[in-house]
Structures are given as structure tokens and as C-alpha cells.
Amino acid sequence: MSDIILSVEVRERTGKGGARETRRDGRVPGVLYGGELGPVAISIKDNELRKAINSGQFLANMITIEHKGETQTVFARDVQFDPVMDFPVHVDFQRVDEDSTIAVEVAVNFINEDKSPGLKRGGVLNVVRHAIEVNTPAGSIPDAIDVDVSGLDIGDAVHISAVSLPDGVTPTITDRDFTIVTLQGSRAVIDEAAETESDAEGEEGEAEAEAAEGED
């Protein structure tokens, strides 16, 4: 859980006109939903929301919102930005508690690259998934999911079944053993392998020719 606390106000006027009026007042419109309560239109001071977003703890963390002295924990589900000026124009919050199970994308972190025989030979990682969507308790969202590539050789792959996930964390995709990363040969390695194969075929051909001459 992050240390972010945001003070919110309830918006009486909704719709496009209400959202424009909120932004003119230096606030960002938003929606709070989830749990046993219905959705509520809210607003947050623009500068406070920007500070929270820039802290690096806003997304993928539980945060606290405050209204008239009462607090509740929420999860930022979506932030919309102005396509030109890149400032926040709308935010969605979901009500959660520490035991709530939520679906969230968690970044992948590759470890033990220095122990991979394929990488030592000049191979390169082909990352299929930079993040994995998982079901996780809201109070213990992983910072990252470690994927060990120490045993990978060229042509190998790591699937989700080979990854150790934290307790209580499961992938949202359950119908297949999806690929996270493969190890491919670099162009130099491929060319070297092709040259070695060509040399081997040439030597084999010369040996066959010498054997044929001997029979004559």
C-alpha cells in the first residue's frame, strides 16, 4: 500500500458539461465504484493528482481517499490524459480492502541473465510479455514478477507454468500455458551455425568423393 492520501469532493453535476466545469475549477473529474456502494462522481485537485501520479506509487498500489474526515482505500483503475498536453482529465477508482482480490498487470523482471548459456553464446531474449495480468490481494500486489532465465539456451522458452508466483497470486489466463520469453540466436550466431553446417556438409561430400575414387 502506498502512502498517498487524496482529498476528494463529490460532484453534484455530471456529464460533459459538469466535467468541463470541474476542470475550469482546477480539479480533475473522476468516478468511484465497486464494493457494496454504488458509483459516485468525485473530483480531485489537479495539482494533487499530478503529484500522486508522478510519485510512481499511484498505479498498482492501494491508495487512500478522504472526504469530510472519512477515509477509504481504493485502487486506481484508469487515468485518462489529454492527448496533446498530457495532463490528467479523468480518473476511475475502485473501492478495495487489503483482502480484496483484484486483477492487475505486473511488470516482468528477468533475473540470472549472466548464467544463461544461450545469452553467453550471443543469443538475445525475445520478450513476449513485458507484464503479466494476475489476480492478487489488493494489499500485497507484487512490485514485479521474477522470471529466471539461468538455464536458457538458444531455442528455449519460459512459460508461465515455470514461474514461481507469490502466495495468493495467480495468472488471469488459465486456459493455456502461455509464453513469457524465448531465447533466439543473434544474426552472428545464426550465421556461425550456418557456416559450421556448410563446412560439415562440405567435408562429408569430400569424404564421399574420396571413397568413390577409391572404389574405382
CATH of the domain at 177: 2.170.120.20
Query: What pLDDT, on the 0 to 100 scale, is given for residue 84?
Result: 92
Which of left, alpha, beta for 69 (phi over 0: left; psi -120 to 50: alpha)? Answer: left
Mean pLDDT for the chain? 88
162 and 144 in a common domain:
yes
Which of residues 97, 114, 137 is at a domain's end? 97
Give me the CATH number covering residue 91.
2.40.240.10
Which has more confidence, 209 or 93?
93
Helix (H, G, I), strand (E, B) or coil at 12: coil
| 48 band by pLDDT with thresholds 50, 70 and 90 | very high
Query: What pLDDT, on the 0 to 100 scale, is given for residue 15?
Result: 86
Closest CA to 140 of 62, 73, 58: 62
Q: d(Cα 118, Cα 49) in Å, to the nearest integer? A: 45
Q: d(Cα 66, Cα 52) in Å, to the nearest integer? A: 14
Instruction: Read off the C-alpha cell for 51.
Output: 503529484
Residue range 125-184, pLDDT digits in tens: 999 999 999 999 998 899 899 999 999 999 999 999 999 999 999 999 999 999 999 999
What single letter denotes the amino acid at residue 130?
H
In a domain, 32, yes or no: yes
Query: What pLDDT, on the 0 to 100 scale, is given for residue 61?
Result: 87
Contacts of 72 (CB under 8 A, 6+ apart): 64, 65, 95
In the chain, the percentage of residues whose pLDDT exceeds 70 is 85
Do the Cβ atoms of 60 and 142 come closer than 8 Å? no
CA angle 141, 147, 152 (to 5 degrees): 175
Closest CA to 107 of 177, 54, 56: 56
Query: What pLDDT, on the 0 to 100 scale, is given for residue 191?
Result: 56
Domain count within the chain: 2
Residue range 86-110, pLDDT digits in tens: 999 999 999 998 888 999 999 999 9
In a domain, 158, yes or no: yes
Q: d(Cα 8, Cα 25) in Å, to the nearest integer? A: 14
| φ/ψ (deg, to 5) at 16 | -65, -40
Q: d(Cα 180, Cα 15) in Å, to the nearest integer? A: 41
Q: d(Cα 69, Cα 56) in Å, to the nearest integer? A: 26
In a domain, 192, yes or no: no
